[in-house]
Amino acid sequence: MRTAIELAHNGPAGGVNPRVGCVILDPDGTVIAEGWHRGVGTAHAEVDALSKLAESGARGATAVVTLEPCNHTGHTGPCSEALIAAGVTRVVYAVSDPGHASGGGAARLRAAGVEVIDGVQADEVEDFLEDWLTAARLGRPRITVKWASSLDGRAAAADGTSRWITGAAARQRVHEQRKASDAIVVGTGTVLADDPSLTARGDAGELLATQPTPVVVGMRAIPKDAAVFRHPHPVLFEGTHDVAEVVRDLHARGFRRVYVEGGPTLASAFIAAGLVDEYAIYLAPTLLGGSRLALGDIGVGTIGEQRRLRIRSVENLGVDLFVSAVPEHVTPEGD
């Protein structure tokens, strides 16, 4: 299974399909084929591995795969049927497929007399597939809300200036998180106030090879010379204040990892709507005072309504702190 996980890393991190790896063993336990999924429209990991064997080469074999074999026809046929047709007699997988259409492969295999073992290295694969599994289970992208603030919770000084609250190390981590996201979301207020480029950049300011799609939410017009228009990807405008509507549209467009970067009004709206899976909070050792809070109204009217978080990690980034947290009801995968 660890080899299957390593193979899965070869697949593309972005897109609507999960990264999956497969190892096929002969009856003596010798590895006879390996495969992984290379993206939409390509062979799934199991079929990729089977394709490397002669027609009867998988008779009596065991297939070890990171995700439950699919049981539906999409761009390709069902992997459950491919394994049955190949004569595989045992399938071992880590995590069940939560998809309404694609799930059910284990039941199909068992019905055909194939031995099925599940849950092997499940925690590790849950962590690896966290973004995709969230999208599959909830029917929406996995959403991270980020903000940077002073220790007293201010995102800007009294005059609205906010560059820079945090130092270079913290800002570079943000660029790494942008790179790992399918879309980066801000409100029109942030575009008008800060004129961000919303790109992912390296230490020297160079554009990284992978860039998130910039998404601007709100009804206000932004200047035609705004920096966001120089982004490598076209700007996606969401002309609404309904964040649930925004999330539905992003999911329909195939985005599975969404990074909400600002500002306070937009971040608060996502939190109030219960649409946050992870918080990326950067704290600078400084005090600003005033009314420019990192968050506004999130629907907490009394202490009993507080939105408690579970801290996943705290990390020193130069002089700043990076706090990763999740809503308390969510079990941090891989912890």
Which residues belong to the active site? 46
Quick one: 264 exposed, middle or buried, by C-beta within 10 A (0-12, 13-18, 19+)?
Answer: buried
* Nearest Cα to Cα of residue 259 among 211, 306, 221, 219: 211
The contacts of residue 25 (CB under 8 Å, 6+ apart) are 31, 32, 61, 62, 63, 64
Contact assessment for residue 108 and residue 71, using Cβ atoms and an 8 Å cutoff: yes
Question: Crossing angle, helix 243-252 and helix 264-272, to 10 degrees?
Answer: 80
* Distance in angstroms (rounded) separating the CA atoms of residues 18 and 157: 42
* Distance in angstroms (rounded) separating the CA atoms of residues 306 and 296: 14
* Distance in angstroms (rounded) separating the CA atoms of residues 32 and 25: 6
At 90, give phi and psi (nearest 5°): -145, 140
* Distance in angstroms (rounded) separating the CA atoms of residues 331 and 328: 7
What is the secondary structure of 136-156 as a DSSP string?
A: HHHSS-EEEEEEEEETTSBSS
The secondary structure of residue 227, as a DSSP letter, is: G
The contacts of residue 66 (CB under 8 Å, 6+ apart) are 1, 4, 5, 8, 20, 21, 22, 45, 93, 94, 95, 125, 128, 129
* Nearest Cα to Cα of residue 215 among 176, 281, 279, 260: 260
Q: Which segments within 68-141 are labelled E, that is strand?
A: 90-95, 115-117
The partner residues of 148 in beta bridges, in order of sequence, read 282
